[in-house]
Amino acid sequence: MPQGIVWVGRSVREGKKFQKGPFLNGVLGIVKGAALAQGLSVLASPLITRIYSPEAMGLLGLFVSFLAIASTFCTFRYDVAVAVVEDDEVIPLIDSCFVIIIFGAVISSWAFEFLRKNDNFGYGSFPIWGTWLIFVASVLSASSGILRYYALRCRDYSKVGRYNICQALIGLIAKILLSFSGFFGLVLGDIVGRFAGFKALWVSVHREKNFYFSRKILFKYKLYPVVHLPSSFINTLALIALVPIFTEVYSLKVGGCLVLAQRVLSLPFGLVSEAVGDVFYGEISRIIKEDSANLTTFLLETVVRLAFFGGGVGVCTWFFAPVVVPYVFGSSWILTGEMMSIMAPWTAIAFTVSSVSRLIFYSELSWIKFYYDLISLIVIGMPLLLKFENPLDALIFVATFQSLLYILYFILIFYISLRRDKIIKS
């Protein structure tokens, strides 16, 4: 604890930079490919917003929101276990997960069809083929999640970088080429990109031709579906529920503007957060086993550097977004700029904390996260009850309380790093 605090003070005063090492090399390995893909996405966004309407973007947001929940459910959180199981259990666990994913995708498709038929949260706008596409997308997304954690286990971060660029770049090209088909082009393009990402990861799996399914291994690591799945399910629901809720309370156009706001904000924040989070999860596994005394120091080093980056981007977004967005994306997206300005502080705090949040998976106190996620979901759902007349007022309410919750979550993560007796080292 004192050592970490002293380092932070010295780092702030002296502007200490990252030193070359496994952590930085890993982050760069993931970021290099994703940076190119995200850069192309930024350049293509003004074109996308001019060939697709806010309503079409809203439908894509609904599709992707549901898919995020479905892919979390389909893996039963065994994807997280892939990074920590014994070496001889990895391939059997991966194969077993593929069987579970098919079952989960069927259940997810039924759930999507239920929402579609009952016209809940705007899903009634989808035709019947949306249900079939959800099945395909759920299988691809969940399978990619399994293989992604396998690459992190192997510390093969360049593979994760190639996955990012394949999914983003191929998906972007497909959306542009399929624009003649209306919002169907956005959805199908997203699926094409996910297939490309899955293929990029699949070639990295070192395995024999035999297929293994092991109920014994699934039962051995039952902690993940029993404890982590409910928490992750609620956490994911809290992260993606904003678009369906705003679509339900206001309109599909408002939901579409919110989708673009989230996507543009994710370009600087999501790129770095995902890369740092992946490498952080891989590196703390080694630190916990070999050098647990430095866990708090490593956590603080990472958070301070992320806070400087997030704060700078957040301030620029808060100030410039309302002015710049209409010129870049077109006059139909004025609301998006105002939404980005409101969401900037929340996104900056979330970026800093979520990048290191996976430390909780190594803690015996991980059950606390379930209650945190539940509170977060309640806050996200409050616009359904309070019925703000202006969607911006509703967004201010959600952003303020979510920022406070992320700060509380960091306090929990920091406490876990201090309580090394509560860390799972197996």
For 19-43, the pLDDT digits (tens) are: 445 555 555 555 566 666 666 676 7
Mean pLDDT (the chain, rounded): 82
- pLDDT tier at 292, thresholds 50, 70, 90: low
Cβ burial of 403 (10 Å; 0-12, 13-18, 19+) is middle
* 101-132 per-position pLDDT tens digit: 999 999 999 999 999 999 999 899 999 999 99
Q: Which of 217, 234, 242, 240 is nearest to 367 (CA)?
A: 234
In angstroms, rounded to a whole number, what is the distance separating the alpha carbons of residues 303 and 8?
10
**Nearest one of 346, 267, 357 to 31, comparing CA atoms:** 267
pLDDT digits (tens, 9 = 90+) for 177-218: 998 888 889 999 999 999 998 988 887 665 555 677 788 888
Nearest to 375 by CA among 403, 354, 405: 405
Band of the pLDDT at 160, cuts 50, 70, 90? confident
Tell me the pLDDT tens digit for each residue of 244-267: 999 999 999 999 999 999 888 877
**Where exactly are the structural domains of the chain?**
2-422
Backbone angles phi, psi at 304, to 5 degrees: -60, -45
Model pTM greater than 0.95?
no
Q: What is the distance between the alpha carbons of residues 278 and 291, in angstroms, rounded to a whole number?
A: 19
pLDDT tens sequence across 310-366: 899 899 999 999 999 998 898 889 999 999 999 999 999 998 888 787 777 777 777
